[in-house]
Structure 1
């Protein structure tokens, strides 16, 4: 009888430290305020482009990818050779770590922050060192980062940070780090269109800078999965070597091109979300037992008096993100929805906290 090797012994040992995504369908009529999605569909121009792109879906997306690289380069003020497109920015996070992290390497990043970076590092046998953000302002002091990053391969800065919603470091402070750190500096600007804070202009001066952005948030295209990296030409070539050859479909590429041709639509969405965010912040601030934190994104982090708040809201078909397991206190993140969704959330929140 042949004795087969257990499948666990075939798999990479690094996978044991990772959890498997466990997505479940939302109930009918759910108010989805947990994933920082846009509550609105993409631009009508995007929807038309999606339909039309189906007629070229029999071909690999060579021309569409090159055209989108050119469009993004124009949008950020650089050259196409500085742009790498991916299947969402998550794909590019993994590509950056696949290209740079060897077993035993360490990256430095804030905590709490976007954990896909930690997953990508762990998958490559690397280690993660955290700088804990203090809950008074959730700032990332550059002197602390420089000191803690000794012997680190890379520094990750999510700016604005997820889940805290604030700018953790100014562009000048990022430049200070770039000037004194020999490793890679990765700045995640997924919420740039809301914050208007960027270090893209520094890419021409620093070969060790990678800026990541996405079409998922302000462009209302989370389901189409398009992200991009802005980096030096040397780093861009390296990323193209490790990512898939055709990582994004023709449909999604044409959608992103159309989105950049309709920036006015994106700006109207951003303005709407900003108005709703201000109203939601003020309403949360007025509720006893709730402490919201200022945000320049499409979500708000808040602290509440009840630890089981997310579970109780879910029972009423309202979904928010619970961070109480990883933060010291009852912290929750709520995405900014449509005006009617925000009103229902606030009404239900008050009822739960008053019960």
Structure 2
């Protein structure tokens, strides 16, 4: 027997690799188009790029030749001010992906069960496999809501169940998770990991609704000539109201993960963070890589949190463009959108091939994500871009229709 056959774990040898997004330079060469001629709506990235203060911080950084702070002290202090969670309960990482892996390394013995609710983020089953866990799946319903009874049954049937992964807004459909459901799941005897990568976009929607309600009340009061009610203006800090990150202080089996990739346009620097139970953190600190948040990522993320007005405005623009995209694509009745509270929209393609549609758009330099797995048959997911990106998408779809007529 060769060493290469005997040294690799059998489960690793048998597992499928994760399929990442193709690098931009490779895409450019493959499509024969310069980057400026590519409309990239396939990875839920921030189309406006990093916050200006983050760019400035990177330009003026002085210590790239020195190892970074292993505790990311400055970043965690800024995150504490942003989230309202004590810095001692926060851990930063090289993206939320690293924190998912770190958590599973800390808690899983070989064969321990992780409960997943597909369709959802592909990193959950991938990291479970890498860490020798056993994946038990409880599929979502047709409307992408959770099968809570099914989750409870699965946990009861598997005494070694350690972790339940949830994503809200969920990737790839953008659905939310209500408080009552989360509280019910927190009653289960396992860690509940809530991935809030897209929560800022749901927060913007809630703030818009609150502003409209306030305007409605003001109009009513003006018409009735009554005394004005107390103001319900948005808080000065941009803390997403749908977020449950502060719940970690009341629930010792809740983990909440967040990222700078979507909100702050720092996907390329790989920086995320999480709020964890107090009892779990010492073990995560023991096993994490000592310098996991590099100097550039730490500088950029910390500076981005000082640019709250820019972050808020960018999220507002993305949410507005998501709604505009749905309205524009209503002209194509074979694209059926699902309600989304994130920076993307999932469409079911009816009467046409979603795979062929994705390829036809790619030939025009327009990139969208194609799915054809359980619960996502013949679907595409389109990220919300800038107005010019939406316009180009509509033009590309119109060309496809004209060619096929």
* CA deviation vs aligned residue, 1:69-113 (integer Å, no higher than 9, x gap): 111112111211100000000011110111111111111111110
Report the counterpart of residue 142 of structure 1 in structure 2: 148
The number of residues matched between the two structures is: 348
Q: Provide the rounded CA distance (Å) in 2 between the counterparts of 1:276 and 1:52.
A: 33
SS in structure 1 at match of 2:243: coil
Which residue is equivalent to 1:215? 260
- 1:279 aligned residue (297, 319, 324): 324
Secondary structure of the corresponding residue to residue 261 of structure 1: coil
In structure 1, distance between residues paired with 2:190 and 2:128? 15
Q: Does 1:171 align with 2:179?
A: yes
The residue that corresponds to 1:347 in the other structure is: 395
In structure 2, which of residues 11, 24, 48 is the aligned counterpart of residue 40 of structure 1? 48
Q: Secondary structure at the match of 1:295?
A: coil
Q: In 1, Cα distance between the equivalents of 2:264 and 2:246?
A: 22
Contact 2:117 2:139 in 1 (8 A): yes
In structure 1, what is the equivalent of residue 239 of structure 2?
none
Is residue 122 of structure 2 the alignment partner of residue 115 of structure 1? yes
1:20 Cα deviation after fit? 4.9
1:225 alignment partner in structure 2: 270
Give unmatched runs, 5+ long, in structure 2: 29-33, 204-241
260-269 or 8-17, which moves further after superposition? 8-17
Listed as ranges, the matches of 1:156-195 within 5 Å are 156-167=165-176, 169-178=177-186, 180-195=187-202
1:51 corresponds to which residue? 59
1:153 aligns with 2:198: no
2:377 aligned residue: 329
Separation of aligned partners in 1, 2:8 and 2:401: 46
Q: In the alignment, does 2:2 pair up with 1:5?
A: yes
Q: CA deviation at 1:166?
A: 1.2
CA contact 1:274–1:298 (8 Å) conserved in 2 = yes
Tell me how far apart the structure 2 counterparts of residues 13 and 343 of structure 1 sit (CA, whole Å).
Answer: 49
Give the TM-score taking structure 2 as reference length. Answer: 0.82
Q: In the superposition, relative to structure 1, how do residues 18 and 31 fare at CA in structure 2: closer, same or farther (>3 Å)? A: same
Deviations 1:144-178 (A, max 9, x none): 322222222211111110001111x2123212211
Higher Cα Rg, which structure: 2
Write the distance in 2 (CA, Å) between the matches of 1:153 and 1:63. 28
Can you list the C-alpha shifts for 1:211-239, whole angstroms capped at 9, x where unaligned?
00000001111111110011122222222
Instruction: Verify the 8 A CA contact 1:171 1:198 in the aligned structure 2.
Output: no
Aligned equivalent of 1:241:
286
The 8 Å contact of residues 211 and 230 in structure 1, kept in 2 or not, is answered as yes
Shift of 1:66: 0.4
Across the aligned residues of Structure 1 and Structure 2, the Cα RMSD in angstroms comes to: 1.7
Q: Is the 8 A contact 2:141 2:147 kept in 1?
A: no
1:97/1:120 contact within 8 Å kept:
yes
**Closer, same or farther: CA 328–257 of 1 in aligned 2, 3 Å:** closer
TM-score (norm 1): 0.93
Secondary structure at 1:62 match in 2:
coil
Residues 1:31 and 2:29 aligned together: no
Q: Following the alignment from structure 1 to structure 2, what is the Cα–Cα distance between the partners of residues 83 and 341?
A: 36
Could you tell me how far apart the structure 1 residues matched to 2:82 and 2:18 are?
36
Distance in 1 (alpha carbons) for counterparts of 2:10 and 2:60: 45
